[in-house]
Amino acid sequence: MKKMNTKKNLVTGFLIFCFIAATTNAEFSEIRIDSVTWDPSYIEAGDDVTVYVKFHNHPLGMAYLTPAPNTQPDEKDAGVFYTARLEPMDELSEKNIIIKKDTKNVGHLFIGESWTTPFDIKIRENAVATTYNLKFSIIKTDIDGTQKDTDKFLEFKIPVKGVVKFKVDSDNTLKLGDTGDIQITISNEGGGNAKYVTGKLGLSDPFTPAKTSEIYVGDFMGDESKDLIFSVSVNSGAEPKAYTIPLQITYTCADGTEKQMNTDIGVQIDATPKLRIALENADMFTQGSSGTVSVDVVNEGFVDAKFLTLKLLPDDNYKILSIGEIYIGNLDSDDSESEEYLIQLSENVPNGAVPLKFELRYKTANRDIEFLEDADVTLNVLTSAEYADGQPKQNLTSQIFGALFIIPILVIVYLLIWIVFKLVGLFTGYLNKRFFGRR
């Protein structure tokens, strides 16, 4: 009984062995994907990347017992050929990753043979920082490539880091011969983080840094904006125009790479005359009185005023009796011009300081823009008593001295008239005797 069981077990084991052998001989190998790598390992938007997929034809079943690749099991697999394909898995990956050649011919792989297929891809410049889904497939074909069947595939992700992409905004105007601020707004629009950011202005004549030309910003996160403010002095001899100033931004990327960005900013130097009006001379004024006012226009700026017009504006406190608007023309830097106006104060003008309102209109040499400025000149209005006391008066001594001075003059005039009268009488008497006496 025991021998029968032993024989039965042997038969059963032999049948199982035959079944396994028959099964394994039906397929001697399979494709197995070993690894997926890419170069460079740190990927940013705009990079060119090569993806490497390594795979091999793994032996199965009786293939392990095959002594050489040209034995019978491999001959049964000799008609199998392979192609490799790389493709995006979703709409986002398809939009932002360009696969330059998505299908590569592999050919026949012997059992145990390995193969590495490179795929060149391009990350779009505006790709967002995220992971992108790709699919690698091994397709089994015949020698003509007509029968195709996906033998193996692998889904994997490629991480794309945010790139540092700085945008610079600057709109600054500085005054000639003055010190002002140049403000620059730097925005990181790429999404990548930047460390140790420094901004430096390449200042040269006519610009001089009032403090420093280099500012440390620090870390700069993605989608962050910061302002850099430089205090700058402008040479008084500079030409009023738009100037270009180099700007250098240095930073360190997240992968430790040090980079520089060089660009230019524009700065307008604005030079306008600095005009001032002062009261040069004025008659005494009280309520209802009239008189002359003389004002002085001074150009205290670095540039000339062109086509200058000075106008005395009407007001309830006074009436303009002369021409109110006077054309001066060009007023050079550090020069002045005086003009006179005849006015009459109103009867109800308040005592004390009363402003005379003036308007200045002019242009500059480099800009065809008319500038308009208002300025006041203070006129002192006296009370009636102060006005009367201020008028010139003659004392008794002056009156006597005047009389003593006038009397001799009157006597001399009288004598001259008498002498002339006498001479005329003598001359007419002579004529009468000479010509009319004979008749």
Report yes or no on 423 lying in a domain: no
Q: Select the more confidently predicted residue: 160 or 255.
A: 160
Q: CA angle, corner 157, sides to 155 and 158, nearest 5?
A: 140
Task: Look at residue 14 in the predicted model and tell me its pLDDT.
Answer: 40
Residue-wise pLDDT for 166-196, tens only, equals 999 999 999 888 899 999 999 988 778 899 9
**Mean pLDDT calculated for residue range 52-79:** 64
Structural domain total, the chain = 3
Residue 303 clears pLDDT 50, i.e. is over it: yes
Residues 180 and 148 in one domain: no
Strand partners of residue 267: 172, 243
Domain boundary among 216, 239, 270: 270
Residue-wise pLDDT for 331-386, tens only, equals 998 899 999 999 999 999 999 999 999 999 999 877 778 899 999 999 999 998 88
Residues 290 and 376 in one domain: yes
**Mean pLDDT calculated for residue range 205-217:** 94
Residue 3 clears pLDDT 90, i.e. is over it: no
Task: Look at residue 333 in the predicted model and tell me its pLDDT.
Answer: 87
Task: Look at residue 402 in the predicted model and tell me its pLDDT.
Answer: 65
- Strands of 300-401 (E only): list them: 305-312, 318-320, 325-331, 335-345, 352-363, 371-382
Domain boundary among 160, 184, 218: 160
Residues 49 and 146 in one domain: yes
318 closest CA partner among 284, 294, 338, 291? 291
Given a contact cutoff of 8 angstroms between Cβ atoms, the answer to whether 272 and 301 are in contact is: yes
**Mean pLDDT calculated for residue range 38-44:** 91
Residues 218 and 316 in one domain: no
Residues 255 and 286 in one domain: no
Supply the range of the domain harboring residue 180: 166-270
Written as six digits, the tokens of 40 are 């460079």
Report yes or no on 253 lying in a domain: yes
385 by Cβ neighbours in 10 Å (0-12 / 13-18 / 19+) ranks as exposed
Residues 208 and 261 in one domain: yes
Please tell me the distance from the alpha carbon of residue 237 to that of residue 303, in angstroms, as a whole number: 10
- pTM, rounded to two decimals: 0.53
Report yes or no on 395 lying in a domain: no
Report yes or no on 102 lying in a domain: yes
134 closest CA partner among 111, 108, 153? 153
Q: Select the more confidently predicted residue: 241 or 66.
A: 241
Domain boundary among 369, 390, 411: 390
Residues 181 and 259 in one domain: yes
159 closest CA partner among 252, 97, 99, 84? 97
**Mean pLDDT calculated for residue range 7-29:** 45
Residues 37 and 99 in one domain: yes
Task: Look at residue 63 in the predicted model and tell me its pLDDT.
Answer: 46
Report yes or no on 386 lying in a domain: yes
Task: Look at residue 410 in the predicted model and tell me its pLDDT.
Answer: 81
Q: Select the more confidently predicted residue: 19 or 134.
A: 134
Residues 45 and 154 in one domain: yes
Report yes or no on 401 lying in a domain: no
Task: Look at residue 417 in the predicted model and tell me its pLDDT.
Answer: 86
Report yes or no on 435 lying in a domain: no
Report yes or no on 98 lying in a domain: yes
Residues 52 and 170 in one domain: no
- Give the CATH number, domain containing residue 251: 2.60.40.10
Q: Which of 109-123, 133-147, 239-253, 329-343 has the lowest mean pLDDT?
A: 133-147
Residue 73 clears pLDDT 80, i.e. is over it: no
pLDDT band, residue 390 (cuts 50/70/90): confident
pLDDT band, residue 145 (cuts 50/70/90): low
Across the chain, mean pLDDT equals 84
Residues 239 and 301 in one domain: no
Residues 292 and 215 in one domain: no
